[in-house]
Amino acid sequence: MTLLAPGWLIVAAVASLAVAALHLIAWRTPRREVLPTARFVPDDPARRAARTVLLSDVGLLALRVGILLLAGLALARPGFDTARRGTGLVVAIDATVDSAAVSGVLAMLPRADRTAYVVFDTMSTVASDSGAVLVGLSRSGAPVSSLSVGLLAATREALRLEQDVESVGLVLVSPLSVASLDGATTSVRALWPDSIHVVRVARRAGTVPGPVSLPDDGDDPIVAGARLASANRLLSGPITLVRDTAVVPDARALVVWPRISGDAASRVDGVLAGTTAAVGHFLRLPDAGGPGRVIARWIDGTPAAREVQQNDGCTRRVYFDVPDEGDFTLTPAFQRLLAVLLQPCTGDAIAHQLAADSVVRALASSPLGDSPVVAAADTPGANRLAAVLMGLAIAALLVEWIARRRGGATLLAEQSA
């Protein structure tokens, strides 16, 4: 038999001991006996301390103890599910993790009688063993994953395992990037009442910020400046820079930076991008006035570059160039300007941020606080048994009330006689 809330049984046992102690010290009325010479008995007060401690009203005591134990057992929710045995473990593995790290994590997992593996990115797959997990990881190429999908699949597997085992644990293996969280993650997390063992591992190679793709033009001052910035780790991809607007490749993050011929007249101007400002000789191009977010402006406020978000990336269009002569693109100010204009798309930048530790702690902790996991799920049989026990307790309470009233009435009749 299993008890969902054994604490109630302990409370009932303590209350029973208290009731028994009260019965030991209860006042008792002596039995009436005929004595024709009663008139010669001194008329002293009736109360005397008993020389021996005896249980009074043994029957009533047994009834009251029975009521308390029945109620405690009913509240403890006993179950006789003998089919469940052992422990279960569900391991949810983010497909963007490094496979080598996953192998080490799987080897260190606690042993369980039944283990289920769920590999997820934007979809989930149930794997039968650790080997199938590694196969699944190798097939997944998604750059980001969804914790909501993974937690939902893992919770489903855990509920399925609960039918066969006494307790189920949940392990989450993921880099826990910000992009894997969404608005549904909290609600999905709340479906699992217990805590989750979170194992944070490194991302798989290829999902980290990629290289900056630059044209092969050594005479292009913009390209030269970009190469210098990339070498100085000011740039983080993936980003593709094109200077020849005639050919626009299909890239996740594309910067279209038209090249103006060297005969064009330059003038000293200034470009502002975020907190960066660069002043020098610029070749200004008229703003097409298209859609998109302005990511750089001239000093006079007119747009100097725009970014258009697309489904899986973004496209930036820059409306200026620099003269071929000089080393303006190599100056620190222009390097910073290049870092802004050639940064990854906004979603990608955020996507690669790791979730804060507080978010991870919230994910790991039980939504019910530090309460222990509810091992056995409610079953109709357990509910019926608890209802029967509580019904018996209530019936016994009614009998006790009747017995108490009758005992009081008898005593009252004797006292008035």
Partner 1 sequence: MHRSRLRGSAPELSEYRLYRQGDDPRQLDWKLLARSDRAYIRLAEDRSLLATWFVVDASASMAFPEPSHGKWSVACSLTLGLASVALGAGDPVSLLVGHPSPPPRNAPRSRRGTLNEMAATLRAVVPGGSTALAPLVADARPGARVVIVSDFLGDEEGTRTAAAALVAAHCDVHAIHVIAREELEPAARSIRAVDPEDPGVVRPFDDTLRDRYTARFAAWRDGIAVAWRHAGATFTPVTTADDVALAVRRVIGASSGATAGAI
Residue type, 118: V
Question: Toward partner 1, which CB reaches closer, 48 or 111?
Answer: 48
C-alpha to C-alpha distance for 321 and 306, rounded to whole angstroms: 14
34 touching partner 1, by CB under 8 A: yes
Question: Toward partner 1, which CB reaches closer, 33 or 370?
Answer: 33
CB of 44 to partner 1, least distance (A): 6
Copy the structure tokens of residue 395: 């019936």
C-alpha to C-alpha distance for 120 and 392, rounded to whole angstroms: 50
268 touching partner 1, by CB under 8 A: no
42 touching partner 1, by CB under 8 A: yes
Question: Toward partner 1, which CB reaches closer, 35 or 265?
Answer: 35
Question: Toward partner 1, which CB reaches closer, 30 or 249?
Answer: 30
Burial class (CB in 10 A: 0-12, 13-18, 19+), 158: buried
Copy the structure tokens of residue 15: 């209350």
Which of the stretches 36-44, 145-153, 185-193, 343-351 binds partner 1 when contact is defined by CB under 8 A? 36-44
Residue 289 has φ and ψ, to the nearest 5°, of 75, 25
Which of the stretches 41-49, 254-262, 353-361, 363-371 binds partner 1 when contact is defined by CB under 8 A? 41-49
Closest CA to 147 of 359, 367, 373: 359
Beta bridge partner(s), residue 306: 294, 317
**Positive or negative torsion for Cα 229, 234, 240, 244:** negative
Among 27, 43, 111, 358, binds partner 1 (CB under 8 A): 43
Residues with Cβ within 8 Å of 232's Cβ and at least 6 positions away in sequence, in order, are 335
Beta strand ranges found along 40-127 (DSSP E): 78-79, 87-94, 114-120, 124-127
Which of the stretches 32-40, 72-80, 104-112, 241-249 binds partner 1 when contact is defined by CB under 8 A? 32-40
40 touching partner 1, by CB under 8 A: yes
Using CB under 8 A as the binding criterion, the count of chain residues that bind partner 1 stands at 21
Among 107, 108, 231, 417, binds partner 1 (CB under 8 A): 417
Among 1, 9, 22, 38, binds partner 1 (CB under 8 A): 38
413 touching partner 1, by CB under 8 A: no
Question: Toward partner 1, which CB reaches closer, 31 or 111?
Answer: 31
Question: Toward partner 1, which CB reaches closer, 45 or 183?
Answer: 45
CB of 80 to partner 1, least distance (A): 50
205 touching partner 1, by CB under 8 A: no
Copy the structure tokens of residue 181: 């969280």
Alpha-carbon distances, residue 42 vs 39, 280, 360 (angstroms): 8, 124, 83
Pairing of strands 313-318, 320-321: unpaired
C-alpha to C-alpha distance for 417 and 415, rounded to whole angstroms: 6
C-alpha to C-alpha distance for 17 and 225, rounded to whole angstroms: 85
The enclosing H or E element of 335 equals helix 332-341
Question: Toward partner 1, which CB reaches closer, 30 or 301?
Answer: 30
Question: Toward partner 1, which CB reaches closer, 31 or 267?
Answer: 31
CB of 405 to partner 1, least distance (A): 22
Closest CA to 169 of 183, 158, 177: 158
Angle at the Cα of 68 (from 65 to 73), degrees rounded to 5? 120
Among 3, 16, 18, 32, binds partner 1 (CB under 8 A): 32
52 touching partner 1, by CB under 8 A: no
Which of the stretches 45-53, 138-146, 191-199, 364-372 binds partner 1 when contact is defined by CB under 8 A? 45-53
Among 25, 27, 46, 53, binds partner 1 (CB under 8 A): 46
Which of the stretches 27-35, 58-66, 112-120, 382-390 binds partner 1 when contact is defined by CB under 8 A? 27-35
> Where on the chain is the footprint of partner 1 (CB under 8 A)?
29-46, 48, 50, 417
